[in-house]
Structure 1
Amino acid sequence: MIQAKDLQPQELSALLHFYADSGVEWLLEDAPIDRVAEFAAQKVAREQSRASQPAPQQRADRQQPARAAAAAQPLNPPPVAMPNVDAVAAAQRAAEGASSLAELKAAIERFDSCNLKNGARSTVFASGDPAARIMVIGPMPNADDDRDGLPFSGRTGQLLDRMLAAIGLSREAVLLTNIIPWRPPGNRMPSPAETAICKPFIERQIALAEPDHVLLLGNFPARFFFGETGTIHNLRGEWREVTVGGRSVRAFATLHPQDLLGAPATKALAWRDLLMFSQAITRG
């Protein structure tokens, strides 16, 4: 087995990034533990426990009073989760009650009716310039976003910064956000119920920011706003009018920075899309 001390710095860095992307948060115990000795002690304890147990009939006789006492105790059922339809209605009320992006952020941070929040470290809200009239929307936070509490952190954020800089923009000159404000466990795709619960929040963000142009990054945002099931390769590269909260918005889909990291050959497609996006926002 290769040990960490035998790795080169760049290899160790790549390994740590892999662990972070996989959702690993702790690598070490507070004190060293001899797992081999621990297992041996557990095995001895199990054997001693079996040797000291009474015969089956004796155990049954002793267990009957305990079972009777347990049956007499009132049951404490676990709390019932809020049905999805109620959670969606609660999200709609929370979103509609916000008259500014700051109020919406506070409302999302208070919202407890989406199970994704229970497993996430941070509520990742929009960042950048709310008055930019340009929104860049991704799918959901990844491990870096969840750790930093900001959208598009880590390697994907660095690549997005370079993508924006290539057409004369920066993250400070646009409004960056995600459809889902909480990282799903293991970076899995959100379920339809989770998406429906989060939908009022992203719609309210768009209504409050009033963008003239929206750049959608990846499969999930393109399908979410276009209402289609194709891949980003089928949905990218053309402007579409989408209706959000009764307001028509011009939206353009391209590949997510993570797609480019996984398949560098697709950078040419993304560059072509960015040029089209840049031409449109230049014309106004």
Structure 2
Amino acid sequence: MCRIIFREDDMTRQEKDVVAGGEELLEVLRFYHENGVDCVLEEGGLEARTPAVVSQEQDVGTSRAGRLSEQGADKGESQFSTDWVTAARKIAGGCSDLAELRAAIESFEGCEIKKAAMNTVFSDGNPDARIMLIGEAPGSNEDREGRPFCGASGMLLDKMLAAIGLNRKSTYISNTTFWRPPGNRRPTDFELEICKPFVEKHIALIAPSILVLVGSTACCALLNTPESISRLRGRFHEYTNPFLAHPVTTAVIFHPAYLLRQPMQKRLAWEDLKMIRAYIEQEKIAVDF
């Protein structure tokens, strides 16, 4: 196989500009995708763009199930996938405590990303805590250590919690998937759907007084809304699932990894943290463990 390698000193100025522009565009698109940006404001106002936004939201409204079926190229694969989701819900429903749930997740073979993962990343923190955080998918650090929020993003999360008088002893932390997707990519809709019954049961067993969804993937997986995280943050939501006896007050915050890339957003993150702290004090939620 022949490989063509472009050396910078062999390229014309115009060629260099094209390459640089392509890399910049790729970074912008990656930023938009990771953070739920669904429209871009241009000169001339919103009027001309409104129909496209409405159309997009209507497409989203055709449901996650429609997108899931598209991932299976043939009907047989789609049916097989649906069977795994049904099996996951049945298994999760039969778990009566955290130990049973953890064992069930570790033995579950219906999610392909498990095959390449080093560890099952179940939780960290205090299972008696009244504050529960749900993050995105495990990354390489989490995969190695077997616990959520490690490395630089974990250190920033610890600082964010400390800023409002919390730590890992006063909170309980998990993720929307229990295994690292290859290449640290975002989980597919089907991978999120497969793990969802276990996540729902996890939340029900903890029965938190407040739930904090960390990052756009957690919001997408659990809130069942087409809205981006930038539109969901700054207010409380009511979260429920088939295993919960009653709805749980839920807040949304930016993921620490995103804040490391976009430090200008830390001001908004601080507003969200203060909102959470005010609710904890208002409801007299225990934080001393």
After TM superposition, the score normalised by the length of structure 2 is 0.69
> 1:267 aligns to what?
266
The amino acid that maps onto 1:279 is A
> 1:257 aligns to what?
256
The amino acid that maps onto 2:277 is S
- In structure 2, do the counterparts of structure 1 residues 154 and 82 end up closer, same or farther at CA, with 3 Å as the change threshold? farther
The amino acid that maps onto 1:262 is R
> 1:223 aligns to what?
220
DSSP 3-state at the match of 2:89? helix
1:198 deviation in Å? 0.5
Equivalent residues of 2:132, 2:171 under 8 A apart: yes
> 1:125 aligns to what?
122
Moved more, 185-194 or 253-262: 185-194
| Residue correspondence of structure 1 range 1-284 to structure 2 within 5 A | 83-245=80-242, 246=244, 247-284=246-283
Equivalent residues of 2:196, 2:221 under 8 A apart: no
1:212 deviation in Å? 0.9
DSSP 3-state at the match of 1:140? coil
Equivalent residues of 2:148, 2:173 under 8 A apart: yes
Q: Hey, what's the Cα distance between the residues in 1 that align with 2:256 and 2:127?
A: 22
Q: Hey, what's the Cα distance between the residues in 2 that align with 1:260 and 1:193?
A: 27
1:220 deviation in Å? 1.1
Equivalent residues of 2:123, 2:173 under 8 A apart: yes
Q: Hey, what's the Cα distance between the residues in 2 that align with 1:283 and 1:274?
A: 14
DSSP 3-state at the match of 2:240? strand
The amino acid that maps onto 2:150 is S
- In structure 2, do the counterparts of structure 1 residues 114 and 166 end up closer, same or farther at CA, with 3 Å as the change threshold? same
Q: Hey, what's the Cα distance between the residues in 2 that align with 1:265 and 1:223?
A: 23
DSSP 3-state at the match of 2:91? helix
Equivalent residues of 1:135, 1:175 under 8 A apart: yes
After TM superposition, the score normalised by the length of structure 1 is 0.70
Structure 2 gaps of 5+ residues are 1-76, 284-289
Q: How many residues align?
A: 206
> 1:58 aligns to what?
none
Q: Which has the higher contact order (CA 8 A, sep 6+)?
A: 2
Larger radius of gyration: 1
DSSP 3-state at the match of 2:247? strand
- In structure 2, do the counterparts of structure 1 residues 149 and 227 end up closer, same or farther at CA, with 3 Å as the change threshold? same
| RMSD (Å) for aligned C-alpha atoms | 1.7
- Report Cα offsets for 1:98-146 as digits up to 9, x if no partner: 1111111111001111101011111000111111111011011011100
Q: Hey, what's the Cα distance between the residues in 1 that align with 2:113 and 2:258?
A: 24
Moved more, 226-235 or 274-283: 226-235
The amino acid that maps onto 2:259 is L
Q: Hey, what's the Cα distance between the residues in 2 that align with 1:196 and 1:174?
A: 25
> 2:50 aligns to what?
none
Structure 1 gaps of 5+ residues are 1-79
Identical aligned residues as a percent: 44
- In structure 2, do the counterparts of structure 1 residues 108 and 102 end up closer, same or farther at CA, with 3 Å as the change threshold? same
Equivalent residues of 1:214, 1:252 under 8 A apart: yes
Q: Hey, what's the Cα distance between the residues in 1 that align with 2:136 and 2:259?
A: 15
Equivalent residues of 2:192, 2:221 under 8 A apart: no
Moved more, 91-100 or 152-161: 91-100
1:283 deviation in Å? 1.2
Equivalent residues of 1:82, 1:113 under 8 A apart: no
Q: Hey, what's the Cα distance between the residues in 1 that align with 2:178 and 2:216?
A: 17
The amino acid that maps onto 2:174 is T
1:266 deviation in Å? 0.6
Equivalent residues of 2:237, 2:250 under 8 A apart: yes
Moved more, 230-239 or 263-272: 230-239
Q: Hey, what's the Cα distance between the residues in 2 that align with 1:161 and 1:220?
A: 20
